[in-house]
Amino acid sequence: MNQGLALHTTTGELGIAIINPEGLYRFQSWDLGRDLANNLQEKLGEFLPPMQWQDLDFIAVAKGPGSFTSTRIGIVTGKTIAQQLDIPIFGISTLESLAWYHGKKILNSGFFAVEMKANTEEIFGGIYQFINEKMCLLNISIDQTYKTEEWQIIIKDYQDKYGNNFHHIITPDKLAFTTKSLLEIATIKMTNNHDYSLNNWQNLTPFYN
């Protein structure tokens, strides 16, 4: 089992999760707000043991959408670690991690529309399909910015078509609880993908709010 580290900082709330060689997860979160940048390294240093940096096989980080400053802090930290250790880094969408979290929680195949407010007239949205039998998440419509009216039409179409198999998720203010989801998604990617050339620190692009 690959050992990995996940970081979630998109809301100013720090989430850290680790998976060890036995496949066991460990998770903790801190609501740091403006102190995120000053405290992240300290929290990482306290949380990592008994695992050591050289034990890590990959990193997962929430790439947004989210707060510009908070998201950037997590991205820069993750890329620095991945570069220094020469290991893959997986940038996971904030919306994707929420869809995965709710899919596993419901344990029922279905479609998930995840939205995050961008501004007064626009929405960040993504459509995902969770397949329970295979424990996988398909991205039906990539994360992008929608006009509010356009997004509402899409939501209604999916509701009319899929009924109870459709779930509309509005992103909460705090998201660190999905840090383990980042790690689970990245672990699957590590298992299924033997070519990590695209998952290097140079190719990680954030999606800022």
Each residue of 41-56: pLDDT tens digit? 999 999 999 999 999 9
What pLDDT, on a 0 to 100 scale, did the predictor assign at position 134?
82
What pLDDT, on a 0 to 100 scale, did the predictor assign at position 8?
98
Task: Quote the CA–CA distance of 2 and 193 in Å, as a whole number.
Answer: 13
Q: Which amino acid is at 17?
A: A
Task: Quote the CA–CA distance of 100 and 184 in Å, as a whole number.
Answer: 9
Question: Is omega for the bond preceding 65 within 30 degrees of 0, making it cis?
Answer: yes
What pLDDT, on a 0 to 100 scale, did the predictor assign at position 199?
80
Q: Which domains does the chain have, with CATH numbers?
A: 4-93+174-203 (3.30.420.40), 95-170 (3.30.420.200)
Each residue of 163-188: pLDDT tens digit? 999 999 999 999 999 999 999 999 98
What pLDDT, on a 0 to 100 scale, did the predictor assign at position 74?
96
* Confidence at 17, pLDDT banded by 50, 70, 90: very high
What pLDDT, on a 0 to 100 scale, did the predictor assign at position 208?
73
| Averaged pLDDT score across all residues of the chain | 92
Enclosing H/E stretch for 6: strand 4-8
